[in-house]
Structure 1
């Protein structure tokens, strides 16, 4: 069976990705910071009878990340999905209100930790059949799409993640690994708010459809929820 390793699997889009891939018969390594509090994820894992393995992982914790990498050494991972992310405080993302510590934390979680995950698990992905790394980005990280300003912390972190994705696509080409950035749409989650255009289920169904079409030639793409390309 193919294997998916996903971060941020305890809620929202990450939880639904775990659910849908498990339903398709994938082995899912579902990572979250506090497995003991991930009640919905644990219920899902119990229902799949081994199809979902709940893994302790705070992506910003070097020791935890390296311990998991050591535990999984030699195990193929078909898709590494860097889904964990933060929005930051929306109230302090307008011009004149940005704060250093908050901005650094958003960059640390949204940019640096996906890069470290790629470094730590690229060898596993290279052993697999699918050989895909997916980074959860956002159209808000598109410079061309920015017509309203604001949201400095979140926008800049996703723009930086896009650059990291493209650089990794070049660097991992010799291993035939496809690295892509995905836009999940505007989704009704804690981060997206109640006015989002898509339900979590609709978003994940589309994300899965897009990932199923990813080939090595797609490496470095910024893929919209409808499967098209988003301008940088």
Structure 2
């Protein structure tokens, strides 16, 4: 009898997160998908995959909510944890133009909160499992051209916190991945983005699966190519 693998996708109400949940369902995984509230996309996906999909509610920016979800999942074992939650605001603005709240919101949602999820859920991820967070190509300081500078800074900060996490856990056997999916046409990515979801997410999941059992931190694109920090 084949035992299905388990994945927790945090931030799956729409866009890339919803596509991740759908991709894992299609591959026969048991998928725990989270959203802050009701999601028409997840409801539709549940109708298609009632035996594979489990829905949970969590507000990633609320640490108490994250810890409550962890309590609800006590006794479970995850093969993969994928934190996708993110927002983009003031994309064309500079540091002197942006409303401070918009910047703080991005730093809380894109940087601090994903790392809190990883910290809180680490102990229920299998020792040969994967802990992944959705990063971005524009998080690379080396390759920066100033595009969406405030959003990119929040993702660069996420990369830094993941690096610090890996340094604090040098003997952790789990894979730690920062995955850049490409500029994808979603509500957040916008209509000018380069790729369709179908050109990104299957490749992202391929990369995550290939890294299972390979310990250490990697910042990679959807093809598995290592990106410069």
**TM-superposition CA deviations, 1:103-142 (whole Å, max 9, x none):** 11110001110111011100111xx264111110001111
What pairs with 1:86-97 in structure 2 (closer than 5 Å)?
86-91=87-92, 93-97=93-97
Rounded to whole Å, the distance in 2 between the matches of 1:171 and 1:77 is 21
Aligned length: 226
Match for residue 24 of structure 1?
Answer: 27
The equivalent of 1:110 in structure 2 is 110
Which of 144, 152, 157 is residue 160 of structure 1 equivalent to? 157
Quick one: distance in 1 between partners of 2:203 and 2:103? Answer: 30
* 1:81 equivalent in structure 2: 82
Sort the Cα spacing of 1:206 and 1:4 in 2 relative to 1 into closer, same or farther, 3 A: same
Q: CA separation in 2, counterparts of 1:130 and 1:194?
A: 38
Within 5 A, what are the aligned runs for 1:205-216? Answer: 205-216=202-213
Q: Distance in 2 between matches of 1:226 and 1:71?
A: 34
User: What secondary structure sits across from 2:171 in the alignment?
Assistant: helix
Q: Is the 8 A contact 1:94 1:150 kept in 2?
A: no
Matched, 1:11 2:14: yes
Instruction: Answer yes or no: is the 8 Å Cα contact 1:210–1:227 preserved in 2.
Output: yes
| Cα contact 1:79–1:130 (8 A) shared by 2 | no
* Structure with the higher strand share, 1 or 2: 2
Q: Quote the Cα distance in structure 2 between the aligned partners of 1:218 and 1:2.
A: 18
Equivalent of 2:174, from 177, 181, 185? 177
Q: Which of 169, 192, 197 is matched with 1:195 structurally?
A: 192
Cα-to-partner distance string for 1:36-73 (whole Å, 9 max, x where unaligned): xx112112112212311111111012222111100111
Q: How does 1:50-61 map to 2 (within 5 A)?
A: 50-61=51-62
Change (3 A) 1:173 1:48: farther
Write the distance in 1 (CA, Å) between the matches of 2:175 and 2:192.
33
RMSD: 1.6
Deviation at 1:95, TM superposition (A): 5.0
When you count helix as a share of all residues, which structure comes out higher? 1
Are 2:25 and 2:31, in contact at CA under 8 Å, matched by a contact in 1? Answer: yes
Question: In the aligned structure 1, how far is the partner of 2:191 from the partner of 2:220?
Answer: 24
TM normalised by structure 2 equals 0.93
The TM-score, its normalising length taken from structure 1, stands at 0.91
Alpha-carbon contact 1:69-1:121 (below 8 Å) kept? yes
Cα 1:97–1:150 change in 2 (3 A) is farther
Distance 2:18 2:169 in 1: 28
